[in-house]
Every structure is written in C-alpha cells, then in structure tokens.
Structure 1
Amino acid sequence: MLPVFLLILIPLLSLFFFFFLTTSKSNSKAPKSYPLVGSFFAILATRDRQLQWFSEILVDSPSATFDLRRSYSKRQVFSGNPPVVQHILKSNFQNYEKGETFRSRLTYFLGHGIFNIDGESWKFQRQVASHEFSTKSLRKFVETVVNTELSDRLIPILSSAAKNGTVLDFQNILQSFWVRPGLLSPSLPQAKLALAFEDSVRISYGRLTASIPLIWKIKKFFNIGSEKSLKMAVSEVKESAMNIVKQKKQKLEQLGEKKSLSDELLSRFLSSGHVDEKFVADIVISFLIAGRDTTSAALTWYFWLLSQHPEVQSKVVKEIKEHSEEPA
C-alpha cells in the first residue's frame, strides 16, 4: 500500500516545487503563483479593477512586461513595452496566432472576423480595411460625418447638461456615436443593439478570462444564466449585422456599374468577391468592436487630461479656431 502512496505523492510534490521555483519574482507587485491554481486568488481579488491592476504591475516592472499564470498552467504575457508591442503586433504578427483557447471561447460571438482568425483570412481583412485609414478617407470622414455629429447631436446634449447642471457619463455619450445616427439625442434613449453588444462583449470576455471554464460550459449546455443571456445578445447583434450587410448589398446592386460607394469599408468587402453574407456580417461585428470602446475611452481620457491642463486646453481651442476660420 505504501509504494502506491509514494508513487502518487512524489509526482505531486515535484509539481508543487516546480511551480514555486518558477513563480515570477521580477517585481514586487507581480502576483504570486501557486500549484494548479496559478494566480487565481490575486485575479479574483482584483476582478473589479483588473485593468488598473495590470497597469500597476507593468509600471512597477523594469521591462514593462510580466507573466501571469492562470489555472492549470495556462499563461498570459502582458507588456507595455513599445518595442515588445511592435514586435508582436506589427513586425512578427504572423508568428503569434490566437490559439485554440481564444477561438473556442470567442467564435460564438466573433465568428470569422479579423479579431478571431489567423492566416490568409486575417491578411485579406487587414488589407481591405487598411484603405479606410488613408489620409483621404479620414479627411472625408471628418468632413461628412464628424461635423454633423458634433453640431447636431453632441453639442445639444452638452449644452442641455450645462444649462440644467446635469452630470453625464461622457464615455457612454461617446459610445452612442458608435451605433447609428438618431440614437444620440438629448433624451439619451438606450439602444437595443448597444445593450446587446455590451452584453455580448462582457460575457464573451468573461469566457476568455474564466479560471474554471467548466462553469460557463455547463451553463451553455443547460442554456442558463450568463450563457442564456449571451445567446440572446449575440442573436440580436448578428441579426443587426446581417441587416446592415443586406442593405448595403442591395444598394450596391442598385448602383450597378457606378460603384460610387466602393470607397466605403463595407462596400469594399462586398465588392471583393465575398458573397457569403454570414462571413461579411462577422467582419462587420469585428469592426464595430474596433471602433466602440477604443474611441470613446481615448476621447474621454483626452478631454479629462485637457480639463487638468488649462494651458493646453487654451492652445487647442486657439488652433481649432484658426483652422475653422473661413478664408478671406
């Protein structure tokens, strides 16, 4: 009986010491890692402030990079070091695939969109999308969209809030620009699509970072709790994306040879030979994600920083006025 016990105990002790000897000690704020569960307890304790927590660790790390060990020996590398980020996201992106864990947890929502695929499909979507970020496209967008959004939608809301002394969540206001014209009005109605998108992103992210994946898999099997909510939310988002694709496809068919909309992102994808509407709808969802929290969060921090530095704010206002003046 004793030899059998030792056969079980020795591998467990070896595993135990292996984990403790390899626990990262590169900086004081890096979370401790334990056998099997990794840094589960630190992750759980900071679940309501993880972005800030990760940022604090990166700032404290000499290399601005740290290794986070999750349960069952899974690891994640976080970096705020510009050369490292450039190496991964630009110079050698093809060497850093999403991986099966990433795809299996996000395919339900993202499908075959650019954030969830690798290889040739990723290259194709990136190549088509790159035209959208040319100087000409951005200038046209500012002239035709931004001015209207500011004068007809954003300024009336801010003016009304200033007049009535109302406190606004500025990031939520800016997120409303992401959906479609008409949703951002002084009454601030809650858009069904925006709420569905929020639930889809939040629950899918919960899947991705789950320390015990078995829990969400059980919920999915029985269609209960967060997985039931995810199913309903994703259905709403995909239906809206499909409607966008069908409407744009119909417009292109009506234009025939004119192709006057071919300089717009969705039109480029539809004109590239891809007739599978589900595939194009996945692309739509990915690009909606790309322009949602990123833009609103960046602009919110931008205006907050301006409010903390009046001298910079004065220079910005002066520059805007100079460029806004009509030529004599």
Structure 2
Amino acid sequence: MFLELLAFSALLLLPLLLFILNISGNPQIGNSKLPKSYPIIGSFLALYKNHANRLPWFTELLQNSPTSTISMHHSLGRRFVVTANPAVVQHILKTNFPIYQKGDFLRNALRDLLGDGIFNADGDNWKFQRQVSSHEFNTKSLRKFVEQVVDTELYDRLIPILYKSAAEQTVLDFQDILQRFAFDNICRIGFGYDPEYLLPSLPQAKFAVAFDDAVRISSERVRTISPVWKIKRALGIGSESRLRGLVSDVREYANTIVREKKREMDDMKTLDSPDLLSRFLSSGYADEKFVTDIVISFTLAGRDTTSAALTWFFWLISKYPNVESEILREIEELSESGASYDEVKDMVYTHAALCESMRLYPPVPTDGKQAVSDDVLPDGTQVKKGMTVSYHVYAMGRMEHIWGKDWAEYRPDRWLERDVAGNKWRFVAKDSFSYPVFQAGPRICLGKEMAFLQMKRVVAGVLKRFKVVPEKREDGNEPVLVAYLTAKMKGGFPVTVVERA
C-alpha cells in the first residue's frame, strides 16, 4: 500500500499545488463545453471527474464542436484528438491509412493480454494475419457456421435453457447467457474446440471470468497516464498485480486449445474442413505464443462483440413493441422456407433493427489510431507525430448532422425503403465512415457478415418462441453502457422469459 501511494504522490500533489496557486487555463475557442487545461496536468482533472460517465460526456463535447472534432491535453504533454466527423474517419481509416496505426501507445497498453494478435498488430504482421483469416469468411464457411455451429448451439443448448427458465419462472442474466453462446460459437468455428460453456448447469469457467477482468484492466491502461500503470506493473502492486495473474490464466487456457489442435493435426495429418486455428498452424507460423495471441484476439472479437450487440437489441425491442411485432411478422413469413442460411440472409427488417440498435449501442464504442507522422485532418485539426486520434462510434450514432433531429429514436425504418412495387422492404446501408461500427477501410471487420448471420439466427430462434422481458432495475433507471475494449451492460441484463402461445 505504501509503494502504491508513493507512486501516485507526485500526481496527487500537482492538482493541489495548482489549486493553491489558482492557475487556470482557457477552453478551446469555439467550444465552451471543453474543460479547462492546466499546465502539466492538462485536462486530467476533468477527465478523471468524468471517467465513469465518459461516453455521454465526450458525446456532448463533440455535439457542441462546430467540426465534430475536439483536441485535448491529457497530461504530461500528451495531447489527443477525438472525432465524430465522417470525413475525418475516412481520412484516418482509409485515405491516410498508412499514417494512422495502432501505434506503440495502444500496443503497449494491450500487449500483455492481446500480444501481437491481429487486433493489436500493425504492418506486415497485421497483413499476414488478415490474409490467413480471410479464408475463413467465404460463403461455404458462413453456411457451415450457421447450419452446423450456430443452429446446434441454438437448438441444443440456448433454447432448452430458455424453455426451462420460462417453465420455472426464474430470472436469467441474459447478457451472461449470450456471452456463453457466443463463446461456444467462436471456439467451435474458429478453433474446432467446444468449451461447453452454455450447458444447462451454466458452469463457472475460470477462463471466462479471468478474460473479463483482464479486458477491463487492460482497457483502463489506455485511459490512464502511462507512467502510472507502468510503475505499478514494475512494483507488482494494485491492478497490475491482479492483471498478471489474470493474463496467466487466459494464456494457459488459450495454450491448451493450441496444443490440442496441434495434436489433432498430427494425428489426422490433414483436415477435411480446416478451421481458423489450423490454417494458422499450417501457414508456417507455428510459434506457440504467436498462435496463442491469435486465439485470444479472436475470442475477444467473437465472444464480446456479438453478445454485446444482442444484449442491447433485446433490451431495445422490449421498449418498442411495434418493432418486435414487425420482426415477428418477418420471422413467420421466412420460417416457411426451411433453409436456415437462406432464411437469415433474407431477414431485411431484422437486419435493419440490429443496425439501428448498434447505432445507439455499438459493441466497440470508441477506437483509436496513433499518428506516425505529422498530419492535418480534413476539418483543419493539427495532428503531431505520436498523437492518438480516436473516432467515437457511440457519439457518431448521436450526431444530428448524420442521423437527423430524431437521432435519439430507435427507428429501424431509417435503414429501409420500399421496393418499386411497394410490397417489400429494401435495406439501404449507411456508408461505413458515418457508421463505423465494423470499422472501415482496409481494417474493416472480416467477420461482419458472420456476425449478422449469427445474430439474426439467434433473434429468429428466440423471438419465435419467447418474449424476453427485462426486470425492473433497483434504481429505476435505464441500464448503463460501460465501455472497456468492448461494451457491456452494467450489472448484467436480468430478464424473465415468457413462452409464446
């Protein structure tokens, strides 16, 4: 405890000294909402004060910026840019893609957990991983994913659990259930391994608990001052001491998956249907740490993003019964086809409803890139080498200039228009720079179509049989989105499940 206090003492004394001296700074011109910036500590006090409320706080700052971009001084000379401007997003994710990379700041903060996996990689390493991964997302693999993996998990595990809960009138944490479902799915399709996390007993998994906590602590590193977490790590104190143990548990589990796959490949020599993990092991890059990094990265992507999107989707449609009714009508019309893959592909209204829910509650609320050289953004913002430029996906879903005055409404039909005959809906996509939920440009999400197929299959399978009813929260307020590397519903998503007549 003494060592931790010693590590923070200098930082704690600076605000006190500045308060005594009454040193003040001026907010940036053109945005009176921006917090004051002080010498040395910059806007650290305001950032710390709004830490727990940072998503709506930054959203308000961006809504009040004439350019939908703000530049702030964090502390110790570290400046950063946050934007909700589609032109700027296009600039950093596509036009000037080589300049804006993950960078040392983000990579160092996330390296203990993600290593050099695809979501923490730049340059040739990233290109190689993306090239190998892309083979897993062709039409044949997607059909297999839906018909062999998702449907098995849906009908053999998820739906029976919901039937049991409905019969016994128990309360389920639906966020936990969806995470278990997504975890089994990504392990089976990506690694050829079934963790059996969504069994009727809802078993506790050491890996899953460790993974959640490791993601939370790693994401906190990004928002704190680098010397602080590095000192704590060197001294082995506080959250850094806990992270070390958590990462050890996560890597031990991922290593087990890799070793089992190696044994399987040695025994079988060739695989009739190679999965993502076997592709990497066959690519000539069989270094165990490197392949383990890949397993952890794809676990993060496959487990946390789709489950987060579905959690908020089911909460939203409970508030908008007209949307739920339209989805049920579509499910009824398409379920007669009998072909699960084709059925979910044609769920146009449901697709729009999912896009709309992710507009308001994106699975990855913010993402940042680090400039490797000086640059000027399209709105005139100066960027110096080493600065982080973040695009705020959560705020972009709340910008009037992108979505109109009714941006606060959950309205799936903003994504739809009637066909020529006026009989059927036709989906109208938003450009990926105004809606960067799946990133955009060269790093656009490879698993986008797979995610939609999985989510629509879950929606059809669950809503056709059950009504998901959220429990009232003790404080009477709406649930809160908390942002780590991915989004979570704070406190879980307690629901009761009612079987449809």
TM-score of the superposed pair, with normalisation by structure 1:
0.84
Maintained 8 Å contact 1:29/1:60: yes
Counterpart in 2 of 1:301? Answer: 312
Matches of 1:279 and 1:327, distance apart in 2: 42
1:71, CA displacement in angstroms?
A: 0.9
Report the AA paired with residue 292 of structure 1. R
Q: Which residue identity lines up with residue 200 of structure 1 in the other structure?
A: A
Q: 1:190 aligns with which of 190, 200, 204?
A: 204
Aligned residue for 2:71, secondary structure, equals strand
Matched, 1:259 2:266: no
Residue 228 of structure 1 is matched in structure 2 by: 241
State whether residues 219 and 225 of structure 1, in contact with CA within 8 Å, keep that contact through their aligned partners in structure 2: yes
Letter in 2 for 1:261: S
User: Which letter maps to 1:319?
Assistant: E
Tell me what 2:150 maps to: 146
Shift of 1:146: 1.4
What is residue 115 of structure 2 aligned with on the other side?
A: 111
By how many angstroms is 1:327 displaced?
5.8
- Could you list the per-position Cα deviations for residues 211-253 of structure 1 after superposition, in whole angstroms to 9, with x for gaps in the alignment? 3x33323322232221111111101111111111111222222
The more displaced of 172-181 and 106-115 is 172-181
Q: Secondary structure at the match of 2:101?
A: coil
Corresponding residue SS for 1:94? coil
Q: Alpha-carbon deviations, 1:134-168, whole Å to 9, x = none? A: 33322221111111222222223333343444443
1:142–1:61 distance in 2 versus 1, CA, 3 Å: farther
The alpha-carbon distance between structure 1 residues 273 and 71, as it changes in their structure 2 partners (threshold 3 A), is: same
| Aligned mates of 2:87, 2:159 — CA distance in 1 | 40
Structure with larger RCO (C-alpha < 8 A, sep 6+): 2
1:268 paired residue number: 279
Q: What amino acid is the match of 1:118? A: D
The Cα offsets for residues 56-91 of structure 1, whole Å up to 9 and x where unpaired, read as 333443433322321112122223333433332344
Q: How does 1:1-328 map to 2 (within 5 A)?
A: 20=25, 23-180=27-184, 181-211=195-225, 213-256=226-269, 258-262=270-274, 264-326=275-337
Q: Secondary structure at the match of 1:168?
A: strand
Cα deviations by residue, 1:267-295 (Å, 9 ceiling, x for unpaired): 22112111211111111111111223221
CA distance in 1, matches of 2:69, 2:297: 27
Q: Which moved more, 1:294-303 or 1:218-227?
A: 218-227
Contact 1:178 1:288 in 2 (8 A): no
The whole-number CA distance in structure 2 between the counterparts of 1:62 and 1:167 is 46
Q: Distance in 2 between matches of 1:219 and 1:327?
A: 57
Q: What SS does the corresponding residue of 2:317 show, helix, strand or coil?
A: helix
Does structure 2 conserve the Cα–Cα contact (< 8 Å) formed by 1:69 and 1:75? yes
Mapped to 1, the partners of 2:91 and 2:73 lie a distance apart of 22
- In the alignment, the residues of structure 1 paired with residue 136 and residue 30 of structure 2 have an alpha-carbon distance, to the nearest angstrom, of 41
Question: Using the alignment, how far apart are the partners of 1:141 and 1:153 within structure 2?
Answer: 16
Is the contact made by 1:65 and 1:79 (CA closer than 8 Å) also made in structure 2?
Answer: yes
Count of equivalent residues: 307
The 8 Å contact of residues 183 and 302 in structure 2, kept in 1 or not, is answered as no
State the TM-score, normalizing by the size of structure 2: 0.56
Moved more, 123-132 or 113-122: 123-132
Counterpart in the other structure of 2:453? none
The structure with the greater share of residues assigned to helix is 1
Mapped contact 1:171–1:297 kept (Cα < 8 A) = yes
- In 2, Cα distance between equivalents of 1:51 and 1:250: 45
Structure 2 CA distance for partners of 1:111 and 1:62, relative to 1, 3 Å:
same
2:158 partner letter: L
Bigger-Rg structure (1/2): 1
- If each structure's strand is expressed as a fraction of its own residues, which one has the higher value? 2
Q: Deviation at 1:326? A: 4.9
CA shift for structure 1 position 28? 4.2
CA distance, structure 2, for counterparts of residue 261 and residue 253 of structure 1: 15
How much is the aligned-residue C-alpha RMSD, in angstroms? 2.5
